[in-house]
Amino acid sequence: MKKATLVLMLCEFKVSSTQLINLQKNLLSKSRVAQVLTLDFNEVYYTAKDGFDIYLVRQKGVVDSWYALRAFDGKTILNELLFIREKTADLVTDKFLNVNSGESFARLTSPTGSSSRALSNEEQNDFKYIIDDCEGRHGGEGFCQREKGESFQACYNAEMDEFCDSFASCIAATVTPFPAILIGIACSCMARVCPTPPATQ
């Protein structure tokens, strides 16, 4: 996913009263998990990409805990994601649960680098639930970036590594959770194959 595209998405986050009503009345009633979460509707962010609506909603009472969804036509939920960020003095741990597939993992970022690992059963219980790139990099055309045969975790690691290609972008990814959540949603759906460029004469 092009970093400029992701940054543009972050600038577009906003939610109108109409969008909020649609989220609460039409979409969340069809959610697999939102009905069992305690959501803070004072903390809702929205963007639209590729004809899809993307909502991020903070969970009440849990620091840096978010529910995210990607929807079509304002009525159909396509992907749902749960996200928790934990911080210590020298470590940021981002935990993800792809609601559609049940896949989960944690990505750890420290001053010396980053790594990822599977979540334990206990960590999964923390969830309280019992972008364009056609320039030879990871992903494909459009917002969705998961390649054929790729795991959720592998897609996320590849996309975050692309985003975090400078000191400034790496800092941004640890200061705000939005890049991590957007990349998580983008890796919850399959990328479109990039068109083959015309042969040169």
Over range 49-67, report the average pLDDT. Answer: 88
* pLDDT confidence of residue 93: 92
Residue 186 — left, alpha, or beta (φ > 0 → left; ψ -120 to 50 → alpha)? alpha
| Residue of higher predicted confidence among 6 and 84 | 84
The answer to whether 67 and 33 are in contact (CB under 8 A) is yes
Q: Which amino acid is at 159?
A: E
* pLDDT confidence of residue 184: 93
pLDDT of 129 over the 50 cut: no
Return the DSSP state at 197: P
H-run or E-run covering 94? strand 92-98
Tokens 């939102």 belong to residue: 34
- Mean model confidence pLDDT for the chain: 82
* pLDDT confidence of residue 124: 66
* pLDDT confidence of residue 170: 76
Buried b / exposed e along 21-51 (16+ C-beta atoms within 10 A): ebbeeebbeebebbeebebbeeebbbbebee
Please state the pTM of the whole predicted model: 0.80
Tokens 């030879």 belong to residue: 136
* Sheet of strand 76-87, all strands in order from the earlier edge strand to the far edge: 39-49, 52-59, 65-72, 76-87, 92-98, 104-110, 113-117
pLDDT of 75 over the 90 cut: no
pLDDT of 40 over the 80 cut: yes
Range scoring the smallest mean pLDDT among 35-39, 57-61, 127-131, 157-161: 127-131
* pLDDT confidence of residue 5: 56
* pLDDT confidence of residue 119: 74
* pLDDT confidence of residue 115: 80
The answer to whether 96 and 156 are in contact (CB under 8 A) is yes
Residue 165 sits at φ, ψ, to 5 deg, of: -105, 10
Over range 82-94, report the average pLDDT. Answer: 91
What band does 198 get if pLDDT is binned at 50, 70 and 90? Answer: low
